[in-house]
Amino acid sequence: MDTGILLDGLIQFLGFIAFVAFHEFAHAWVAVRCGDDTPRLQGRVTLDPIAHIDWFGTVLLPLILVFMGAASGQLMIFGWGKPVQVNLNNLRHRRRDDILISAAGPVMNFLLAILLLGAMKIGSLTGIRLFTSNSFLDLTQLTLFLFFFNLLPVPPLDGAHVLRNLVGMSDEVYQQISRYSFMLFILVMRSDAVGNMLSTFSGMALDMLARLFGWELVPR
């Protein structure tokens, strides 16, 4: 087992938990602003990770992937948080607001990437070495990976909610598809093509954002 990869994986695991908290908070915050008080009543409008943790999807599965990555030499972390419950009947503009709520989580992941790179830029200008380590780049690519991952049009991911509203899919049809969501999800994540696509997109996005901050990343 590669101890270096294990240490990097554990750092990313802690970052992943924080990213999940911000992601689910964004869903909850936008839902409340769109007229549904359900997330607030359930205590989801908070950055406390405990409120958003799914013990399997946020803790156990990512930890398993960390140790598998340390053993194989290839690290990849993914998972999910506890879904924010939204009563669509309370929304002021149901289709539009459902799109906004669904998109809020991935958008938060993208904003976190910008904030991390901003912290690295400040670190490079002020000499704070913590903010110039490769760990920050790895965390930035992880939150970008989660951005693209959550946009996949596969229930129950956010991309599927956005797509269903864009094409006008009925609740009944979406519920029927969602009955097989776990099976579809597993098939997608076992696909090397999907994993490579997500890694490629997140790497390209990282390179693009880094250039905006004045860096040209060297392939690692």
Confidence of residue 217 (pLDDT cuts 50, 70, 90): low
Confidence of residue 219 (pLDDT cuts 50, 70, 90): low
- The per-residue pLDDT for 132 is 59
216 annotated active-site: no
Confidence of residue 213 (pLDDT cuts 50, 70, 90): confident
Choosing from 9, 12, 16, 24, which is the catalytic residue? 24
Is residue 201 scored above 60 in pLDDT?
A: yes
Out of 29-33, 183-187, 209-213, 216-220, least confident range: 216-220
3-state secondary structure the chain: CCHHHHHHHHHHHHHHHHHHHHHHHHHHHHHHHCCCCHHHHCCCCCCCHHHCCCHHHHHHHHHHHHHHHHHHCCCCCCCCCCCCCCCHHHCCCHHHHHHHHHHHHHHHHHHHHHHHHHHHHHHHHHCCHHHHCHHHHHHHHHHHHHHHHHCCCCCCCHHHHHHHHHCCCCHHHHHHHHCCHHHHHHHHHCCHHHHHHHHHHHHHHHHHHHHHCCCCCCCC
Predicted model pTM: 0.90
Q: pLDDT digits over 121-135, tens only?
A: 887 788 766 555 677
**Average pLDDT over the chain, rounded to whole?**
89
